[in-house]
Structure 1
Amino acid sequence: MSHDAVPPGPRASRRGKSASRGRKKDRKSRRGLKIVLGIFLVLLLAGGTTAYWMYSSLDGNIKGVDIDKALGEDRPEKLPTTGQNLLVLGSDSRAGAANKELGGGGDAGGARSDTAMVVHIPEGRTKAVAVSIPRDTLVTRPECTGSDGSALAPKDRVMFNSVYSLAGPACVVKTVEKMSGVRIDHYLEINFAGFKDLVDAIGGVTVDVPQDIADQASGLNLTAGPHKLNGTESLAYVRTRHGVGDGSDLGRIGLQQQFMMALLSEIKSQDLLGSPATTYKIASSATKSLTTDEGLASLTSLSDFARSMNGVDPASMETIMLPVAYDKSDPNRVVAAEPQAGTLWKAIREDTTIPESAKKSPATGG
């Protein structure tokens, strides 16, 4: 963005001020578009609120988990030039009538992880890549402590999303580290019930639906084309699996990634800086739905982390799916496809460019 030189004077002064304001506004609008679902933008803006009670209220909403203490020393090595890696989970409890309204079915009890992404921010923090892990992927669960405090022995061929419900977030981090060799620096969990409130707080999100969706399980019925979705509809959209593709989890991942970018665009387009009341409402919804590792479990820590990534251009964020193939013994499950998955994780570990060949998934025809 450059401007031609103009003679000094009032007009030039106005242009200079306008350009300066434009650059500042652009930096502020892009500041939080670095992390999945735009949460950090909301938190960063809220972090500048002058009223202590408001800050204290938002800060108290964030729940922290001591991942480092739970995992100990048996972890992949953290190299000084490997950037930052975040594990982002969308968690969900579908029990009860309230979740029936959200398209969750309401029959299955207990929390589960419906969405999982490893977000890699390379050294220098000028771009990012998000790798989605299908929830139906069969993985090896390492030895963990269960949610009830009991010891869980290692086990092969367990569904990835079962790890969260049986053993909680620390075991999910440990499972991802074991399967990828990637050291996870931070953990960010977003509860889907709070996600619904967040979408409603920003006034809905517009998505371009790629094909007609008629999902009787969630009640979602959309024709192909642009639709502005409210919180309940958005939740059904990112959850739907029966109304797209072959009815598996793989088709849903594409919708989740598409919705993520639409949400980022919606947050960017709103003048949150000019509306403190709206900013607080959005930040309140976001923080109530948020669980992080202890290193990010405060508004100040989240704001500092977001500021450290000012150079990341949201347009450069790449969203891909872990390459998978249908399991030969159980066609309803998938397994990591090799050598693609190994090549992908190696590129992230070493902070190098991900080869195109490592992005091709046999289960989706490439």
Structure 2
Amino acid sequence: MLLTSRGRRIGGRVALGLVSTAVLGVTGYAWAQLSRLDGAIVTADVIAPSAQVPAGPAGEPLKVAQNILLVGIDSRTDANGNPLPQNVLDALHAGSGDDGGDTTDTMIVVHIPAGGAAATAISIPRDSYVDLAGGFGKHKINSAYSRGKNAAMNTLRAQGLTGPQLEVKANEAAAKLAIQTIEQFTGLSINHYAAVNLAGFSALSEAVGGVEVCLKEPVQDKFSGAAFPAGKQLLSGPRALAFVRQRHGLPSDLDRIARQQAFLSSMAKTVLDAGTFTDPARLSALVGAIQGSVVLDRGWDVVSFAQQLRGMSSGALKFQTIPVQSLALPTPSDGLAVKVDPAEVKAFVQTTLTSTSVAAVGEPTSGIGIKPVAATSSAAAPPSSTASAPPGMAGCVD
């Protein structure tokens, strides 16, 4: 599928916001910095009351397992609905303010078991062909957001909303449909939501001082702006964004997911192990970037939540990708899509999140936020690049 400026994909941004926010509760200084988020972070009314989980006491382990939906929005507006300046879009190789389709081109469900010292992140390919919630029919899962937003626009305009206020309220309707679709598809109850746009990803990666990545081969892609040598390198800002959103030159979109996962794993290690909490300038920059970049659900007491995850280590974030059956499913109106079996996906999610390794921290997670499903045939591993890394390049990605 050819990539136009309107179809450029962002990828992998929002988990930076979650990882950054979740691990700030380590020292007294970090707590004071995190408290700055209370009055400044952007929130949205998107989680149903029945799915909201009351915040536990700050500093005590997480009492109840929770599922967090992280999305990266292909949007040219900031968290408050204001258009991003053209000079910012130019630096990010993002085209103009009219480019981008308000789709959720990164979707990751993060499951944190009781105890809060581990997390499992499940990536969902953006082109998965599924039944959307709300009676919108069968389409690529990343279009749930844009379809929900477009459907809400006329009603909101009739109510007199315009400009950034219209954008923010329409985004709330969009997020609700995306959340409902993910719940319907995975069988999970989503308890929290976090979203970020392309400029937010750039700011967050800069705030942590860059993230180390490793490539098997050099890459050059004019569409995303990716231009990297082979081997290890430290990326931040627009270069980090180019790394995770490159699409041309990769064997499949699953390889881009592998990049996202490698980047986020390295980012977690950077935040947790590299002295972020004892570096006042870096910590202050990180909190400032979260304030301007991340949208959270309105019921999320993120300060208390971060304190409940204080035992998390850099090795405690594990990534999985749902099983897929084909990367080239012809569709009536959406072009080629990713073929998935909803029953197989639900079984995979349930097995993954109730495994011994996930439930080992704190109380068992069985039955919390997961709807039981019937067993299915064993899932085949999703097709992906199987090229081995060159000598000395173990752990590198395409």
Pick the TM interval, shorter chain.
0.7 to 0.9
Establish whether residue 86 from structure 1 lines up as the match of residue 106 from structure 2.
no
TM-score normalised according to structure 2 size? 0.68
- In structure 2, the residue matched to 1:204 is 210
Query: Matches of residues 1-366 of structure 1 in structure 2 within 5 Å?
Result: 36-42=18-24, 48-49=31-32, 55-56=35-36, 58-68=37-47, 71=48, 83-94=65-76, 97=86, 98-106=88-96, 108-143=99-134, 154-167=135-148, 168-246=174-252, 249-296=253-300, 301-326=301-326, 327-330=328-331, 332-337=336-341, 340-347=344-351, 360-364=380-384
Higher RCO, Cα 8 Å, sep 6+: 2
Change (3 A) 1:127 1:40: closer
2:325 and 2:74 map into 1 onto residues whose CA distance is 26
Change (3 A) 1:332 1:250: farther
The farther-off stretch of 204-213 and 96-105 is 96-105
2:136 and 2:241 map into 1 onto residues whose CA distance is 32
Q: Work out which of the two has the higher radius of gyration on C-alpha atoms and give 1 or 2.
A: 1
Change (3 A) 1:351 1:292: farther
Q: More helix by proportion, 1 or 2? A: 1
Query: How many residue pairs were aligned?
Result: 309
2:379 and 2:199 map into 1 onto residues whose CA distance is 31
Deviation track 1:102-128 (CA, whole Å, cap 9, x = no partner) reads: 132335245332211011112343422
1:232 and 1:43 map into 2 onto residues whose CA distance is 28
Consecutive unaligned residues of structure 2, counting only runs of 5 or more, are 1-14, 53-62, 78-84, 149-173, 359-374, 387-398
Contact 2:69 2:109 survives alignment (8 Å): yes
1:286 and 1:85 map into 2 onto residues whose CA distance is 20
1:90 and 1:159 map into 2 onto residues whose CA distance is 15
Q: 1:160: Cα distance to partner?
A: 1.3
1:39 and 1:256 map into 2 onto residues whose CA distance is 18
Contact 1:90 1:113 survives alignment (8 Å): yes
Consecutive unaligned residues of structure 1, counting only runs of 5 or more, are 1-32, 144-153
Change (3 A) 1:352 1:140: farther
Quote the sequence identity (%).
29
Q: 1:43: Cα distance to partner?
A: 7.1
Amino acid at match of 1:197: A
1:260 and 1:133 map into 2 onto residues whose CA distance is 15
Deviation track 1:91-145 (CA, whole Å, cap 9, x = no partner) reads: 23248733232132335245332211011112343422100011111111111xx
RMSD of aligned alpha carbons: 3.5
